[in-house]
Structure 1
Amino acid sequence: MATKPKLYYFNGRGRMETIRWLLATAGVEFEEAEYLETRKQYEKLLQDGSLLFQQVPMVEIDGMKMVQTRAILNYIAGKHNLYGKDLKERALIDMYVEGTMDLNEIIMLYPFSSPEEKEKNFALMIQRATNRYFPVYEKVLKDHGQDFLVGNQLSRADVQVLESILMIEEYEPTALSEFPLLQAFKARISNLPTIKKFLQPGSQRRTEPDDRIVETVNKVLQL
């Protein structure tokens, strides 16, 4: 019996959340092996050589201790047929995914904003989502004319765009009001069985970061 992937990260979203999404979409059961809550836990991972570049997330999978978020995502997507059928599709998926990664970075860092920067960073997050990224995906869906962003089957691009949409909507519920194709896309992809299960209460999906998570990350990483 194959060993479940083990995830090493904080009890929050951050750079691990997209990995959780992709594993869940592929129907892969995984374990949160260790939530980092103390500097001592983090230093132990450093000392035993688990963190190649001295950073988390880290995922134990298929006999490897994988680090670097994109490398982990590429591996999972390739293994579970979520990375297109050829190099051209893979290139398109990579382009769309890089957009979501850029947007997610803004979303991820927002809770860490200082009180003075909070309002400005909130406006930037919503502005970038609705003026830079969502219009691209709306046009892709229109031009492609399929249920999915690339080809005619689910890929990691669909999963990661949905993840970004749902995170932005937590902050601005009307963010998709000008994007009818993305509204339909959201409903369609959200109802795929494994994704629908992941979106249910009690799943391994993490909640929006709160002050406690921010404090823990700052303490563990000594930011």
Structure 2
Amino acid sequence: MYTDGTLDLMVMITQAAFKPPKEKEESYALIVKRAKTRYFPVFEKILKDRGEDFPVGHWFSWADIQLLEAILMVEELSAPILSDLPLLQAFKTRISNIPTIQKFLQPGSQRKSPPDGRYVEVVRNVLKF
């Protein structure tokens, strides 16, 4: 359930990149608003209610990776998105400091950057839309 929620948010961000400029900016603004008012407060509450370092179980899981990636994607749209969410801030720091994840997040790693105009154009040409 938690991974599906983060995936919904991530798909919205990915799809917005392919919209015309005005619609894209409106979509990004809506995504940031939803992340701030709907998605991230739920995860803040989950962490608070569980009193654990992880939203699921007592150890690191796929849900943690998904949540971290959703946070990073939204932060690319609005850097201070977690300013009112201290448990998610701590979660992000904790998960980002796992050595293998820390290495993956370094510049030059395999982590994909947000789609730029060139990438969007290539995809449009390949998919003919």
TM-score (norm 2): 0.96
Once the two structures are TM-superposed, the CA of residue 176 in structure 1 deviates from its matched residue by 0.3
Q: How far is 1:115 from its partner?
A: 2.2
1:205 matched to 2:85? The reply is no
Task: Encode CA deviations 1:77-114: one digit per residue, 9 max, x unaligned.
Answer: xxxxxxxxxxxxxxxxxx00000111001110121121
Q: Which one of the candidate residues 152, 157, 169 is aligned to 2:63?
A: 157
Structure 1 runs of 4+ with >6 Å offset: none
1:11 alignment counterpart: none
Matched to 1:194, the amino acid is T
Aligned to 2:94: 188
The runs of 5 or more residues in structure 1 that have no matched partner are: 1-94
Q: Which has the higher helix share?
A: 2
Counterpart residue number, 2:126: 220
**Separation in 2, partners of 1:219, 1:172:** 29
- Partner AA of 1:148 in structure 2: F
Deviations 1:182-212 (A, max 9, x none): 0000000000111111001121111111000
Identity between Structure 1 and Structure 2 (%): 58
Q: CA RMSD in A?
A: 0.9
Residue matched to 2:16 = 110
- Secondary structure of the 2:22 match is coil
2:40 is equivalent to residue 134 of structure 1? yes
> Are 1:166 and 2:75 counterparts?
no
1:146 is matched with: 52
Supply the distance in 2 between the matched residues of 1:137 and 1:126 (Cα, whole angstroms): 15
Q: Distance in 2 between matches of 1:141 and 1:206?
A: 27
TM-score by length of 1: 0.56
User: Matched residues in 1 for 2:13 and 2:21: separation?
Assistant: 16
Which stretch shifts more, 161-170 or 117-126? 117-126
The runs of 5 or more residues in structure 2 that have no matched partner are none
C-alpha distance in 1, partners of 2:59/2:2? 15
Looking at structure 1, the residues matched to 103 and 55 of structure 2 have their Cα atoms a distance apart, in angstroms, of 22
Report the AA paired with residue 201 of structure 1.
P
Which is higher, the Rg of structure 1 or of structure 2?
A: 1
Is residue 97 of structure 1 aligned with residue 9 of structure 2?
no
Q: Could you tell me how far 1:135 is from its partner in structure 2?
A: 0.6
Aligned residues: 129
